[in-house]
Amino acid sequence: MAGGDSPAETKKGSSKTSKNTKDSSKESTLKQKSPAEFFAENKNIAGFDNPGKSLYTTVRELVENALDSSESISELPEVEVTIEEIGKSKFNSMIGLIDRERVDTKLYDDYETDKAREKRLVKEARASEIQAKNLASGKKNKEPGVSKVLKARGEASYYKVTCKDNGKGMPHDDIPNMFGRVLSGTKYGLKQTRGKFGLGAKMALIWSKMSTGLPIEISSSMKSQNYVTFCRLDIDIHRNIPHIHLHEKKANKEKWHGAEIQVVIEGNWTTYRSKILHYMRQMAVITPYAQFLFRFISETPEKNVTVKFTRRTDVMPPIPIETKHHPSSVDLLLIKRLVTDTSKKTLLQFLQNEFVNINKNLAARLIGEMGPDFSPGMAVKSVTSQQMVRIHQLFRQAKFDDPSGDCLSPAGEYNLRLGIIKELHPDMVATHSGSAQVFEGHPFIVEAGVSVGGRDVKQASHILLLFIHGINIFRFANRIPLLFEQGGDVVTRTALKRINWNSYKINQTQDKIGVFVSIVSTKIPFKGTGKEYIGDDISEIATAVKSAIQQCCIQLKSKIVKRLQAREQQERKRSLSRYIPDATGAVYEVLKQMTEEHTKKRKRYKEEETAMLEKVSKLIITKETLKEKLAEHVEQVDYEMALEYATQSGVSEEPRENIYLQQLNPNHSNFIDLQSPTFVFRLIL
């Protein structure tokens, strides 16, 4: 057929068309991901970037959960953390694998070819020859570089992480969902919390599932329970549900309460050892009322580490209180959710009871401003989407009182100062706790401490000056340490760029300066996916941080000036005292000559002078007497000069009073604690 397609070609074309249609339908099929699957694929968001960071984040999550659990029942926390290194053979036996020797060595990633081996040997021989020449000529040899040894990608390091606490414990039936279902928990209300994502140990379980395939083990018991719950489970990533291996009750013979969590994960202790230990130390600084025991158990006993951070006080901060939303902090989606979840009937009751700082009178005024479509008695469930937009617009434009900071739980000046002194032993320390302030409708409190000198605080060197200018910065958000991404943090930028340390008599290059800043809020404005630093773009927080550090510096300046005054006083006294013997000898010789002239009546003296010369002749005034009088005069002059210097410097001598503290009898249970920034006075009733 001219100009037409053959039947075979038509059939072939239609077949091809149907195939393309089938492929496109496959591509256009909608797929869903569970929350667990999302975090498994984007584990870096939760701090599981690599094996080393995953080990650190696992320890951090477990420790913070333990502290929250203990504090929720006002129990002084006792936390034990153990990281046990697991070798390849032991790990294989745990999962039921038998060790197998390599058969085809060329198949492995760390195989070294003959050419590569020859090249390496030539390089090592050349380096040895250069070292021999340098040794012969007296030149200093460089440290020999470590030859790179290829490591197979499959040679991972495994660790068993265990965390035990004396906290609240968990209900028997809730444990599977608390660990095996992502985005389910008890910390999703509006209040100050330590967690960043609400994942807790769930992300550690997901990482364990991805890296080892082993389940997590939980032991838990609540107060007054006569049994201990034991649960072994893992998580179904795709369905976001727990997969329970064992869930049983055991006898609680020791009357223990708390939780013990054990998980086996891939990690890297070598690269993150310092980070984990720094985290534990900084946690001991911000929570001196807690006791921490950290152990690292290696396959080689020489590498074992045991560190105990003892409790220094029994004064705990108040428990954070869940609060309601401030009208200026809500968005349209939140308003819709509050309308859906509220138990109130009318719009007036809804505004009055679901938000802070809206009383009945203000709620009525807001409803009147919304327009004729709104009335105080209208059913809140009947509010339309358009009307919710109007409510949201009015919330953004209206003026409301700032929320109070009563719902927050800062560490407190006493605990912050005590933690700094306990762990760093500084020469001087000053602390300051600011009043509650607000950003975007969320209250926040900034506490700061500045120390000079101490243990484990580095002095500025050439290298340190390039990075932190001799200042050691310790950052805390909702009472947890922040160790990563320090450069962009508001605390770092404020300490380096906005504080003139010289004006406070602090030498930035010579003194060992420690800057401690703790920020607590119902919403910490973290930056970045990892939530490891607070941005410098919120003026309210930046101003509060600067003010808190400056208040500490003002306190330190007073102490430093007094110390300089005492040092100068000692120098003046030392200088004057150096000339007392010579001055005494010269004056006494003159007095002796005058006495001889008076005795021989060669010269007449006044009555007062004559009386003094008679004392010299009778040895009432001797060389030693003059020395004592001169020493007393030096003391008096030195005191007057120091007082004048202190007055000019604006430092007054404060009255001092002896304080006698009665020994605390452990049998006394009735007492009242009166807290101040520097001490706690306990009144025994």
Residue 112 pLDDT > 50, yes or no?
Answer: yes
400 or 594: whose pLDDT is higher? Answer: 400
Task: For residues 53 and 59, give the distance between their C-alpha atoms in angstroms, rounded to a whole number.
Answer: 10
pLDDT over 70 at 659, yes or no: no
Residues of each annotated binding site for ATP = 65, 165, 186-187, 195-202, 531
Q: Which of 559, 539, 557 is nearest to 549 (CA)?
A: 557
Tens of pLDDT, residue by residue over 280-320, are: 999 999 999 999 999 999 988 899 999 999 998 888 998 88
Instruction: Name the band, by pLDDT with cuts 50, 70 and 90, for residue 196.
Output: low
Q: Pick 55 or 663 by higher pLDDT.
A: 55
- Residues 513, 533: Cα–Cα separation, whole Å: 21
Q: Which residues contact 212 (CB under 8 A, 6 or more apart)?
A: 91, 95, 158, 264, 265, 266
Feature table: binding site = 65, 165, 186-187, 195-202, 531
pLDDT at 101: 76
Q: Given a cut of 50, is residue 662 above it in pLDDT?
A: no
pLDDT of 456 strictly over 90: no
Range from 251-255, 441-445, 524-528 carrying the lowest mean pLDDT: 524-528
d(CA 553, CA 289): 26
Q: Is the pLDDT of residue 364 over 70?
A: yes
**Residue 460 DSSP symbol:** P
Tell me the whole-structure pTM to 2 decimals. Answer: 0.76
Predicted pLDDT of residue 187 = 59
Q: Is 512 helix (H, G, I), strand (E, B) or coil?
A: coil
Contact 509, 470 (CB under 8 A): yes
For the record, the structure tokens of 111 come out as 């195989």
Q: Which domains does the chain have, with CATH numbers?
A: 35-93+156-309 (3.30.565.10), 327-397 (1.10.8.50), 413-655 (3.30.230.10)
242 within 8 A of 235, measured Cβ to Cβ: yes
Q: What's the CA gap between 461 and 438, in Å, rounded?
A: 39
pLDDT at position 464 is 35
Beta strand 471-477 with 513-521: parallel, antiparallel or unpaired? Answer: parallel
pLDDT 10s digits, 554-568: 999 988 888 877 777
Length of the chain: 685
Strand partners, 447: 433, 518
Task: Please report which confidence band the pLDDT of residue 24 belongs to, taking 50, 70 and 90 as the band edges.
Answer: low
Can you spell out the DSSP letters for 12-48? Answer: HHHHHHHHHHHHHHHHT------HHHHHHHTGGGGT-
Q: What percent of the chain has pLDDT over 90?
A: 40
Token pair belonging to 475? 């950052």
**CA 132, 138, 139: angle at the middle one, nearest 5?**
80
Which pLDDT belongs to residue 656?
Answer: 46
Residue carrying structure tokens 């007036």:
348
Q: How many angstroms separate the CA atoms of 617 and 614, rounded?
A: 5
* 457/285 Cα distance (integer angstroms): 13
pLDDT of residue 142: 62
Q: pLDDT at residue 193 above 60?
A: yes
State in Å, rounded, how far the first CA of the chain is from the last one. Answer: 115
Residue 548 reports pLDDT greater than 90: yes
Which carries the bigger pLDDT value, residue 587 or residue 433?
A: 433
Chain mean pLDDT for the chain: 82
The token duo for 499 is 């504080």
Mean pLDDT of 319-346: 91
Query: Three-state DSSP class for 118?
Result: helix
Return d(Cα 479, Cα 285) in angstroms, integer: 10
Contact at 8 Å (CB) between 348 and 365?
Answer: no
